[in-house]
Amino acid sequence: MFDKFKKYLLDTDYLLLATVVSLSVIVIIFIYSAGYNPYTGVTNAFYKKQIIWLILGIISFFVVSYINYKQLVKFAPFIYGIGITFLLIVLLLGLIKMGAQRWIGIGPLRIQPSEIFKIVWVISLAWLFMDFDGKKINIVEVLKKALLLIPPFSLVIYQPD
């Protein structure tokens, strides 16, 4: 177990991580600077939220990059079902903000499932079309498989933006 984690840490793309963190730090400095009031010497707290999101993003980077995407496709029907369920929850119990019902409130958090479904969408497409090879693709098979993608489109389009 530890050897696998050690190999993962050695194989991590630290150049990508350093680039993202460097750009994020620059943005946090800009946010801090924009929120500084020279007359009172007080800075608003927006930059602190950005620091928290940066830390959560770094943690997410390591968690997501550790997941074997080839194994993830095996769970695609389950992930698709969860995604559709969240889109239905928005339709039935979602919060209405600025004239649109597209958020789910979980305590102090507001989640927009249509944004999360973008990832579910990619996983679902990979699962649907993984059995195609270059020789047996025909439009009828593509359209049959694409029918499964109509429900999420319908649920997202129903949420005005």
Say what the pLDDT of residue 64 is. 82
Give all strands (DSSP E) within the chain, no chain letters. 36-37, 42-43, 95-97, 100-106, 109-111
Identify the CA nearest to 17 among candidates 72, 68, 64.
64
Nearest to 120 by CA among 71, 149, 156, 80: 80
Q: For the residues of 34-68, what is the DSSP string, one character each?
A: HTEETTTTEE-THHHHHHHHHHHHHHHHHHHHHS-
pLDDT tens digit string along 6-43? 777 788 888 988 999 999 999 999 999 888 888 887 88
Alpha-carbon span 144 to 128, nearest angstrom: 10
In the chain, % of residues over pLDDT 90: 17
Query: Is the full-model pTM beyond 0.85?
Result: no
Q: What pLDDT sits at residue 93?
A: 76
Closest listed residue to residue 65, CA positions, set 18, 4, 8: 8
Sorted by sequence, the CB contacts under 8 Å of residue 57 that are 6+ apart come out as 20, 24
